[in-house]
């Protein structure tokens, strides 16, 4: 049994640094802050490059309605990541699978549904260029949101940093893709899944790598990032 008295050295270290702190906000509120930041960032792509040329033919339901639903799924996954980030609040295996399945289902359903509602193929000869452009714009657009959300995650001290980071990347990826589909007029599943889906996968891998790297860096320095 450990001595119930605090060792003098530990007590001194804690006493020297003791000041009131405000407890972390619940995950949904932290995700809401991400959403507030995300709105102007996500508006950049369609505002800079123009709304998808066939948005009127797609109709408000398939354009805005579906994007809003997809964004909400992305935010829900982000809430899960922010919850998982806090020690003692691990997601169950089932919750994890539900989050991953919901995100994947959202991307597939939106892609296939949009293709059904308004087929639009990539013009011949530009497949690779279109794929590269959409991937690049998706990833670049995601970066500020991703960086902010990653900061929220790592400062919460995740016990499973790689998993938490991957979940964070998935949430941000789905969120960003909900805006990208308002810019990219192509609805061919191959383009959407490879290019837009590829960006989501990139963010998933990036999330896992970044949070793991920060965790290791913090571990070597013997402290948590603030």
Footprint of another protein (CB under 8 A): 1-7, 9-11, 13-15, 17-24, 26, 86-90, 92-93, 155-157, 159, 216, 219-220, 223-224
Nearer CB in complex with another protein: 126/213: 213
> Cα dihedral angle (8, 11, 16, 17), rounded to 10 degrees?
150
| Phi/psi at 85 (5° precision) | -65, -25
Nearer CB in complex with another protein: 99/107: 99
Nearest in space to 74 (alpha carbons), one of 119, 39, 45 = 39
Minimal distance, residue 211 CB to another protein, in Å: 13
Nearer CB in complex with another protein: 21/124: 21
Using H for helix, E for strand and C for coil, what is the string for 162-201? HHHHHHHHHHHHHHHHHHHCCCCCCCCHHHHHHHHHHHHH
**How many residues can be counted in the chain?**
226
Nearer CB in complex with another protein: 107/156: 156
Minimal distance, residue 217 CB to another protein, in Å: 11
Minimal distance, residue 210 CB to another protein, in Å: 17
Q: Token pair of 174, please?
A: 């789905």
Minimal distance, residue 24 CB to another protein, in Å: 5
Of the CA atoms within 13 Å of residue 217, those in its CB half-sphere come to 10
Dist. CA 141–CA 201, nearest whole Å: 15
> Cα dihedral angle (79, 81, 86, 90), rounded to 10 degrees?
110
Minimal distance, residue 150 CB to another protein, in Å: 16
Minimal distance, residue 2 CB to another protein, in Å: 4
Nearer CB in complex with another protein: 161/171: 161
Nearer CB in complex with another protein: 20/125: 20
Dist. CA 204–CA 172, nearest whole Å: 9
């Amino acid at each position: 049994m450990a001595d119930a008295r605090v060792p003098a050295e530990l007590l001194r270290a804690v006493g020297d640094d003791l000041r009131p702190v405000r407890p972390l906000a619940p995950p949904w509120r932290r995700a809401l802050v991400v959403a507030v930041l995300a709105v102007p960032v996500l508006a950049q792509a369609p505002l800079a490059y123009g709304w998808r040329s066939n948005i009127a033919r797609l109709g408000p339901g398939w354009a805005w309605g579906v994007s809003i639903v997809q964004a909400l799924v992305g935010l829900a996954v982000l809430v899960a990541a922010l919850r998982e980030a806090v020690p003692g609040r691990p997601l169950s295996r089932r919750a994890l699978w539900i989050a991953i399945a919901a995100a994947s289902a959202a991307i597939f359903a939106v892609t296939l549904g949009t293709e059904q509602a308004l087929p639009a193929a990539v013009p011949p000869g530009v497949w690779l260029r279109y794929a590269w452009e959409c991937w690049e714009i998706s990833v670049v657009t995601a970066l500020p949101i991703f960086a902010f959300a990653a900061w929220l995650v790592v400062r919460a001290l995740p016990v499973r940093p790689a998993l938490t980071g991957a979940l964070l990347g998935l949430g941000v990826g789905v969120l960003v893709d909900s805006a990208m589909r308002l810019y990219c007029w192509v609805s061919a599943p191959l383009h959407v899944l490879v290019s837009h889906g590829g960006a989501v996968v990139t963010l998933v891998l990036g999330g896992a790598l970044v949070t793991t790297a920060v965790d290791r860096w913090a571990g070597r320095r013997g402290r948590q990032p603030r």
